[in-house]
Structure 1
Amino acid sequence: MMPIHELLNRIRWDAAFAQGRFVLGYYDRVDDRLIEVPLSRVQLTPGDHFAFQVTDADGYTHEVPFHRVKSVRKDGELIWHREH
């Protein structure tokens, strides 16, 4: 399986592949549930292979480790997933 940071880099740098609407699903330990956010709300720091920032619906920014990412959807279709 491709590591999640490599998939996100492909979305960032491969213009043909990046066409579409991407949604990232990550596990929230506090709420004990999967949270799905549009990739447009995810901030990646170049060179950081450990975490990313996501802005929630209330405007708060959270740091999320890459190992908590469980799924990626493109136009509603599951293109990447990791078991719990």
Structure 2
Amino acid sequence: MPEVNLRPIPEGISFEEAAAFPLVFLTAWRMVVGKARVVPGETVLILGIGGGVSIAALQIAKHAGASVFVTSRSDEKLQRARELGADVLINNQ
């Protein structure tokens, strides 16, 4: 790997968390930006919010200017999604 692609692990982040970051965020980035090509003003629906990829997708979609609807059976996961910027929460229990 080219040295330019390497970054130090920030303090407070475990090796395991740092190792997972590219997997989670690059997967979500490819979905939201690469495949869906989300642009400002669009609406994104994320089914089953709460896992790493879905949380990353929420953050990336909001950064892209989209309105984000999320679903979950867990009120706790929906509340966390609200804290991260989800616009509409749907409990599909």
Greater percentage in strand? 1
TM-score by length of 2: 0.22
Question: Bigger relative contact order, structure 1 or 2, given CA contacts below 8 A and separation 6+?
Answer: 1
